[in-house]
Structure 1
């Protein structure tokens, strides 16, 4: 096994169990490891720190796996970690919920691996060379542990490029390909998921708890669901007897899927206006018309993929939330989210404060949203805490 020697005083983060070692912290690589090979990380005095896997093309040169020098990173090690992650989610899967995230990368001590379950099918995102190297072990373990029909590779994230990997999109890894739409349930609501063509792994199960909370305020209300995708907030609002919902998304496939999901749940189609449009443009149209809502949901895509884009993202979040506030009735509710890991909750609060000043509104925060338990946050890896949101009353 190749030894990686760190520069003097660069071992602190490793000792604190942070799972990333950046290339700038490396003093010496003793040998020529292949990308994805397991290596031994040592401090400047050649004392053992941890095991991890290496990549010379990535800014994160080593992703750490185990801090026990007696550990053996073999097939059994990988199987044990996968089994532990799945077991921790068993209670989340029942007759009312058949979809959840089974493995969440660093948070489950499996950096670079994301696994989502959609009923009888799994969608994998393999983001690093170290996980790519043990893909067969991972697929075999998952197919053995779970009663499923197929495993699909959805490794189309741009993160793979940082490890010198090509993207994969909808490749069958095991079993059979899913049909065009797979039916799942979440909190009793039915969804048709397009695993092969849908965004990311096919469905955003990280908003499961937040959808339920927002919907509990929707009875008899007129709701605007922006970036509605396949209808998570819309369908939950309808389940809780919303008077009407306007759902807006720029994707034709998303709007089509939303309509299918309304029919699938036998909700009143007359209560829903599904709009294919750029959200900011549509909000401006609503403002010009003087149309207002009781509840507005803003769940945009990731505006800040990195810290370098944070200033630009903050302006985008501010403009979006200003427009959202302007189409709310006085005393109405705004559920606003950011899935940008680079933006922490305090910065997000400041952005909302700026938006309120520009809109001439007063804001009360009545609830703070976060990601659900199948997206845990590892205490030594704050970067895993990406989803945050605020539930606000706007005056």
Structure 2
């Protein structure tokens, strides 16, 4: 195993079990490891620190795996980590009301660059690091042994793969290919999803608990669901007695799937107004028409992919939420989210305060949304906390 020598003074993060070592923190490499190889990280005095995946094309040159020198990071090590992650999700699926969740969440489950989502009897896999790419046959074999899925589909089409020198992939990993529509259940609601063509790995299961929490406020209310995708918040609000829901998404395919999901659950189609439109344009149209709502949901895509984009993203979040506030009836609820890891909760609250000031509104924060238990945040890796949200009463 090749040794990678850390620069003097760069030990703190490694000692605190943070799994990333940036290329600028490396002093020397005793050999020529291939990208994706497991190497041994040593301190400047030659003392062992950790084992990790190496990649010279990424700013994160090492993704650390194991801090105990006596533990062999071999095939069985990876199989064990997969098994632990899968077993920890069993309670989510126990009541039969939900059969979809995230089984493996990358660094947070000690498998950097591996995401696995379960959709009923099918699995979707995303591989984001060269190390996991090399070990994928072992991981797929273990998933098959543990779960016996009907199919496993590789959705490794994220642009971030280019940072590791990897090409995008979108293909079945088993002889069976997932059907065009897979029927899944979440919170007792049924969804048709397209694993191969859908966004992310096919469905946004990270909002499972937040949908249920918001829907508890929806009885008898007029709801606006923005960036609705295939209708997670819409369907939960209908299930809990919303009188009407206007849904807005720029994807015609997503809106068509939402319509199918309304029919699939036998909800009253006349209560839903599906709109294919840019959300910001549609919010201004509603304002100009004097349209108002009791609940507004804003669940936009990632505005801040990095800290360098945070200022620009903050302005976008502020403008979006200002418009949402202007469309609320007095005492109405704004459920607003950010999936940008660079946007921390305190900054998000400040952005909401600016939006309220510009809108001439007073805002009470009455609940903080977060990601569910199948998207855990490892204590030594706070970067795993990306989804945050606020339920606001606007007066």
Question: Which TM-score tier does this pair reach, normalised by the shorter chain?
Answer: over 0.9
State whether structure 2 residue 233 is matched by structure 1 residue 233.
yes
Describe the superposition over 1:209-264 as per-residue Cα deviations: whole angstroms up to 9, x where unpaired.
Answer: 00000000000000000000010000000000100000100001100100000000
Gaps of at least 5 residues in structure 2 are none
TM-fit CA distance, 1:159: 1.2
CA distance in structure 1 between the aligned counterparts of 2:245 and 2:188, rounded to whole angstroms: 19
2:380 maps to what in 1?
A: 380
Instruction: Find the aligned partners of 1:235 and 1:300 in 2 and give their Cα distance.
Output: 18
What are the within-5 Å matches in structure 2 for residues 363-374 of structure 1? Answer: 363-374=363-374
Question: Aligned with 1:91: secondary structure?
Answer: coil
Give the corresponding residue for 1:21. Answer: 21
Instruction: Please name the residue that 1:336 is paired with.
Output: 336
Give the superposed CA RMSD: 0.5
Counterparts of 1:258-297 in structure 2 under 5 Å? Answer: 258-297=258-297
Aligned pairs (5 A) from 1:244-255? 244-255=244-255
Secondary structure of the residue aligned to 1:274 is: strand
The residue aligned with 2:110 is: 109
Q: What are the superposed Cα offsets for residues 126-145 of structure 1, whole Å, 9 maximum, x if unpaired?
A: 00100001010011110110
Q: What is the correspondence of 1:75-114 to structure 2 with a 5 Å cutoff?
A: 75-94=75-94, 95-114=96-115
Deviation at 1:158, TM superposition (A): 1.2
Q: How do residues 355-366 of structure 1 correspond to structure 2 at under 5 angstroms? A: 355-366=355-366
Instruction: Give structure 1 stretches of 5+ with no counterpart.
Output: none
Whether the 8 Å CA contact 1:321–1:355 is kept in 2: the answer is yes
What is the CA distance between 1:174 and its match in structure 2? 1.6
Trace 1:337-356 onto structure 2 (pairs within 5 A).
Answer: 337-356=337-356
Q: Give the corresponding residue for 1:159.
A: 160
CA distance in 2, matches of 1:250, 1:66: 43
Matched, 1:144 2:156: no
User: What is the deviation of 1:391?
Assistant: 0.2
TM-score, L = length of structure 2: 0.99
For residues 104 and 122 of structure 1, the distance between their equivalents in structure 2, rounded to whole angstroms, comes to: 14
SS at match of 1:280: helix
Moved over 4 A (4+): none
Cα distance between partner residues in 1 of 2:156 and 2:342 = 22
**Aligned-residue offset at 1:175:** 3.8
Hey, what does 2:50 align to over in structure 1? 50
The number of aligned residues is: 394
- Once the two structures are TM-superposed, the CA of residue 148 in structure 1 deviates from its matched residue by 1.2
Matched residue of 2:173: which SS?
strand
Distance in 2, Cα, partners of 1:105 & 1:25: 22
* 3-state secondary structure, aligned to 2:107: helix
Output one character per residue of 1:105-132: Cα deviation in whole Å (capped at 9) or x when no partner: 0000000000000001100000010000
* Counterparts of residues 177-192 of structure 1 (less than 5 Å): 177-192=177-192
C-alpha distance after superposition, 1:136-168 (max 9, x if no partner): 001111011003100000011111010000011
